[in-house]
Amino acid sequence: MDSAALWSRFQQYLCRVPSIGLTLDISRMHFDQAFLDRMKPAIERAYDAMAKLEAGEIANPDEKRMVGHYWLRKPELAPDPEIGTEIRETVEHIRGFAEDIDRTGRFTDVLAIGIGGSALGPMFVSDALGKGEDDAMKIHFLDNTDPEGIARVLASLEGRLDKTLTIVTSKSGGTPETRNGMLLAAEAYKKAGLEFAHHAVAITMPDSKLDQQAESEGWLDRFPMFDWVGGRTSELSAVGLLPAALQGIDIDSMLHGAAACDEVTRNRDTMKNPAALLALMWYAATNGKGEKDMVVLPYKDRLLLFSRYLQQLVMESLGKQLDLEGKRVEQGLAVYGNKGSTDQHAYVQQLRDGVNNFFVVFIRVLESGGSALEVEPGATAGDYLHGFLLGTREALYSNGRQSMTITIERVDARTIGALIALLERAVGFYASLVGINAYHQPGVEAGKKAAAAVLSLQEQVRSAVTDSPQTAEQVAAAAGARDRVEDVYWILEHLAANGRAKRSGDAFSL
């Protein structure tokens, strides 16, 4: 396509959304007007499904739950006035708690313990909107059950645990990774001569195991998680708002940005609805079957963790074996990314010249920020960054590689709220287009059950190991697990490596 035709296509398909300071350019995706016309009935059904979801219809049939993360930024949408009141009261509770902590000056650091949606969203927002030394409190995360990783974080707080507030986030209170992090953190407080409960806050479902523990032990405070909000869409609930407020981030602006984006993406004029257009472009690029990966390239250091956050939001929502009718479809959309222009010195070479199994979502930020020093006559470091974005976009297009570009004015709390809402909405629309349930996670649950079975087997193995050397086959037989010899071998090897068993060749003993 020559430059004049490309410019005309750019103008025709540019989606401008002044109310949230965002534009979406889809002109360099491989679609035509006939595709958009053909998809009109499907996107209309997606609009209807989203409206029903927001009205409180059971949108997660497997778990018989409503899906109400959109109510978090507009409580009056909630189908039950009590839910709206609970949302407002929770936000007020968060504001008041953060103000009290700031006023007393008792704490200087926050240790946030969670996993999945209880960590990825808060980590992304913290990194995107943090001000470094000017933050009200410095925030640290435990988001895994890796004991060495936990030790590293706790070591960074040595000498400051007395001024560290710990937030434990778990919907059920039984999530193993979060529970383990909490136990090791509590041990560190105890070793420092401190009472963990006097430094601890819980974010959990009312009357969960964690809620009961926090109440019985006299923790500082408790904040609710809602049954109708999934982990990957919980950033604008207490899960994300509490750590952000403690860090000094403007949570009201985040909520306002998300609400404004929700309003825009209720528009049934598809060319004015950036979330619907994103979903349609995902469909066009992947043939509605996840045939290509989505590479997210934000040209801004503050958005480094955006792709990690989106991996859970998109892949956990869309990676489904069965459709809504129970047919095996194996749907999904793989997401990866880092940041520009770092990527130009990493995998852009393959994007440009290698296997064409992807499409790119560039994120362009108009305001450079930082120093305006001219590193060359007439050119700042920000000009170079912008030039690299446009250059990479053109290099990909010239070799038949698809991309679209989201442009925002700046990275601030309102814009981050809008971006979160934009992608949540796009996921919902795309799920409707391909006929899957975006709001459950049977694969995750299967993984949890398998892990629990391994830990149960480990107890059997430990009971079966004796002072006399035995092979994995012998231990498996003694443990009543002859059909799981390979797992028994892995467990024995792990125990031996950590000094909990002895190994001599292929034999193991106490």
Catalytic residues: 316, 345, 448
Nearest to 436 by CA among 329, 305, 299, 286: 329
3-state secondary structure 409-436: CCCCHHHHHHHHHHHHHHHHHHHHHHCC
Cβ(373)–Cβ(381) below 8 Å: yes
State both tokens at 319: 């990676």
The residues near 87 (Cβ < 8 Å, ≥ 6 apart) are: 71, 72, 75, 78
H-type alpha helices, 105-168:
120-129, 147-156
* Angle 207-209-215 from CA coordinates, rounded to 5°: 65
Q: What are phi and psi of 202, to 5 degrees?
A: -110, 140
Three-state SS at 224: strand
Q: What are phi and psi of 503, to 5 degrees?
A: -130, 135
CA dihedral 473, 478, 480, 486 (to 10 degrees): -20
* Angle 140-313-275 from CA coordinates, rounded to 5°: 125
Three-state SS at 479: coil
3-state secondary structure 19-73: HHCEEEECCCCCCCHHHHHHCHHHHHHHHHHHHHHHCCCEEECCCCEECCHHHHH
